[in-house]
């Protein structure tokens, strides 16, 4: 009997869509010219890159010259944060202030922490509320005269909670109006990596100056992403080399990857018709787990969450053991973000919600994909229930032996 294979880790990565792959293929070996070359072979690649740039720009409601192609969201986030700081410091020669949150993706959090440690910036880290949603008033109250950047992710990659980005954007716009323009302008950045598939990412509606995304979260290829940079924004490059990407991102252009990104983002609109049915399936999964598995809890807001994200906590269960046993049954999930899967440290996201370190270890992230079915969900819950019961029994026996030994020693 063939073992089932059910992939519920779409927040970590997605399979490249067959349509996307077909559009990419010619640019690996047939149309392999360098998009920076002047000859017609190179210009064929350049035209494909510009077509993809138009597809991405149209999706975000941006202009062509506002889209910078990168290697992914990590690079986009680094360019956004370091580039703004570098441009400001070059002009002002003084230390600026940056506001972000305690449950950002590691590439934002570690970038800001490192810059703070190196005395390049002042930093304020805002805690979310217990439901995993940021209070706009907390950001407003943290603004200082030297605040130059606010960076808040659109959808949390681990617990799937949706942040009030447009509300933050309006508040920052109001603040900028109060204190004038020019050097006092507060720049607003969002990492929209987990939002692109499901939410409105029109940059004007959101009120953002910078927006990061990655192709491999939207059924595109790995190793390519984009950064929206509002026209006229003062931002400096963070790597030296050629003048590619309007002088902001040096290096030979990844033509196949960029074509794949353009194709994938074009497909997102057709996928959005499936969002309502995905929400139904997500809620079905949440209800089934909470009903059938005792001492289970949903992490983060039930309402303000991504259509594909279910993050649950099981008391008296160790997450890594749960993952390995689920994998043996053909169910592939995560305990948190893929970037920290090699670490046994407590999830910084769950800690930011007020959970104790020992409570964070029993968490499981299940993220649905566009082809996930109700039948698969039924099987997954059945396997989780069986596995949790088994692990709790082992855990209970270990504790019994511990207390028995303690009593014997006394």
Are the C-beta atoms of 377 and 284 separated by less than 8 Å? yes
DSSP E strand stretches across 269-393: 296-298, 309-314, 331-332, 363-367
Q: Find the helix or strand (DSSP H, E) in which 20 lies.
A: helix 18-24
**Measured between alpha carbons, how far is 6 from 281 in angstroms, rounded to an integer?**
15
- Which residue is catalytic, options 238, 298, 339, 394? 339
Alpha carbon distances (Å) from 289 to 5, 69, 142, 283, 311: 20, 40, 39, 10, 11
In terms of C-beta density within 10 A (0-12 exposed, 13-18 middle, 19 or more buried), how is residue 68 classed?
buried
Q: Which two tokens stand for residue 308?
A: 């594909």
Are the C-beta atoms of 292 and 273 separated by less than 8 Å? no
Strand 187-191 and strand 210-214: pairing?
Answer: parallel
**Measured between alpha carbons, how far is 394 from 391 in angstroms, rounded to an integer?**
5
Phi-psi region of 53 (alpha: psi -120 to 50; beta: other; left: phi over 0): alpha
Say whether 201 is catalytic. no
Nearest in space to 139 (alpha carbons), one of 150, 155, 123, 153: 150
**Measured between alpha carbons, how far is 307 from 81 in angstroms, rounded to an integer?**
28
Catalytic residues: 339
């Amino acid at each position: 009997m063939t073992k089932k294979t059910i992939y519920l880790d779409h927040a970590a990565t997605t399979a490249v869509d067959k349509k996307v792959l077909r559009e990419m293929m010619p640019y690996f070996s047939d149309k392999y010219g360098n998009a920076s070359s002047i000859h017609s072979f190179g210009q064929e690649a350049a035209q494909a890159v510009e077509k993809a740039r138009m597809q991405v720009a149209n999706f975000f409601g941006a202009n062509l010259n506002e889209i910078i192609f990168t290697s992914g969201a990590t690079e986009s986030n680094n360019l956004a944060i370091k580039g703004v700081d570098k441009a400001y410091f070059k002009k002002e020669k003084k230390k600026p202030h940056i506001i972000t949150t305690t449950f950002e993706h590691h590439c934002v959090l570690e970038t800001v922490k490192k810059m703070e440690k190196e005395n390049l910036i002042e930093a304020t880290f805002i805690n979310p509320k217990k439901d995993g949603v940021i209070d706009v008033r907390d950001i407003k109250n943290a603004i200082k005269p030297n605040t130059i950047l606010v960076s808040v992710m659109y959808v949390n990659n681990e617990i799937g909670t949706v942040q009030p980005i447009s509300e933050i954007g309006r508040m920052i716009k109001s603040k900028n109006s109060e204190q004038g323009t020019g050097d006092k302008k507060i720049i607003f950045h969002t990492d929209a990596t987990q939002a692109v598939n499901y939410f409105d990412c029109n940059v004007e509606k959101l009120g953002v100056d910078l927006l990061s995304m990655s192709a491999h979260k939207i059924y595109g290829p790995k190793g390519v992403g984009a950064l929206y940079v509002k026209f006229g924004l003062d931002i400096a490059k963070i790597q030296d080399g050629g003048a590619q990407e309007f002088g902001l991102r040096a290096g030979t252009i990844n033509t196949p990857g960029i074509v794949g990104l353009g194709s994938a983002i074009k497909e997102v609109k057709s996928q959005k018709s499936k969002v309502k049915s995905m929400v139904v399936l997500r809620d079905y999964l949440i209800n089934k787990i909470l009903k059938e598995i005792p001492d289970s809890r949903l992490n983060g807001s039930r309402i303000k969450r991504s259509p594909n994200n279910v993050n649950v906590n099981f008391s008296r269960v160790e997450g890594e053991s749960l993952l390995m046993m689920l994998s043996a049954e053909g169910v592939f999930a995560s305990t948190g973000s893929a970037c920290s899967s090699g670490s046994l440290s407590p999830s910084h996201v769950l800690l930011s919600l007020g959970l104790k370190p020992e409570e964070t270890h029993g968490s499981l992230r299940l993220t649905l994909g566009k082809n996930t079915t109700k039948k698969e969900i039924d099987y997954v819950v059945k396997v989780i229930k069986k596995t949790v019961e088994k692990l709790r029994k082992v855990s209970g026996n270990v504790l019994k032996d511990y207390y028995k030994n303690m009593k014997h020693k006394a």
